[in-house]
Amino acid sequence: MKKLHLILPVALVLLASSCKKNNAVTIPELVATKKHFASDSSSFTINGKSYSSGPNGSISRGTGNRGTNMKLSTKDGDWSISNGHDYWVGAVDSVQFYRFYENYLDNAQGSITFSFIKNYKRSSLEGGGFWYTPKIGTEVITLGDQNYALDFEREGKDEGIAIKLHLNGQTLTSYSPLFIRIPSSLGQESHRDSKFKILKIEDIKDTEFMRIEAVFEGNLFDKNEKPIKITDGFLRLTVLKKGRVFPS
């Protein structure tokens, strides 16, 4: 059995404790040492005010599985979402894998979370039962422009990036916040002038980590899908290089 070393003060969270395959499952991503995260930061402007998070703030990071290509069914199944009567069931042969990084803001009540999302054939992943993860050598985060995943936490067809902002009691997302049973008015035109571009990926010597830098701007949506523009976004993160959730 491998030993898992938990190094504080980086906050690690378990968002879903259930091991049932029909629930979205997330587990914390263990980290190496505090010094590797010394330069992690994010900043952005919204409603004319600038916000930031820096290395002295708390960070939660982890990974998750969800279903892909969710479809309405009268029967339960893998990675299902239920409203008590009907089920939205994921494709039998596929799994959505995502990494999330939640940065708590320095100058406001709130946090901003970045999720990197990719769909896989189940047969191409490691693990089984309630948990699947990409194999070593599989790239989850790549250079260049990233798409915004509009149906994250809903149908699960889209890959790319998702942003969730908690700010002064309000939640804004780059994807539809509506429950899957409620039709969304969002489409690709909703992010026509948006961007998320990873400018740099740098290996951290003698570790299983790399540092990424990205710029972003675009629309975030409130609970009624009303758009609010986020601009001047910058992100610097230390992430696992490839594949597995935990270092060896």
| CA pair distance 123, 162, nearest whole angstrom | 25
| CA pair distance 158, 147, nearest whole angstrom | 8
Coil, helix or strand for 91? Answer: coil
Q: What is the pLDDT of residue 80?
A: 82
Domain residues of the chain, as ranges? 25-240
The residue type of 248 is S
Q: What is the pLDDT of residue 36?
A: 57
Q: Where is pLDDT greater, at 87 or 130?
A: 87
Where residue 78 falls among pLDDT bands split at 50, 70, 90? confident
List Cα–Cα distances, 197 to 119, 154, 156, 162, 234, in angstroms: 20, 24, 21, 13, 10
pTM for this prediction: 0.83
Angle made by CA atoms 64, 75, 154, in degrees to the nearest 5: 35
| CA pair distance 204, 36, nearest whole angstrom | 8
| CA pair distance 164, 179, nearest whole angstrom | 15
Give the pLDDT confidence of 100-131 residue by residue, as tens digits: 999 999 877 899 999 999 999 999 998 877 78
Paired with 42 in beta bridges are 53, 235
Give the pLDDT confidence of 165-207 residue by residue, as tens digits: 999 999 999 999 999 989 999 998 999 999 999 999 998 888 8
Q: What is the pLDDT of residue 26?
A: 53
Q: How far is CA 77 from the centre of its chain?
A: 24
List Cα–Cα distances, 23 to 20, 87, 207, 231, in angstroms: 6, 12, 33, 34
Paired with 197 in beta bridges are 145, 215
| CA pair distance 11, 59, nearest whole angstrom | 6
Where residue 97 falls among pLDDT bands split at 50, 70, 90? very high
| CA pair distance 71, 177, nearest whole angstrom | 18
| CA pair distance 199, 59, nearest whole angstrom | 22
Give the pLDDT confidence of 3-59 residue by residue, as tens digits: 222 222 333 333 332 334 444 555 445 444 455 556 789 999 999 999 999 766 667
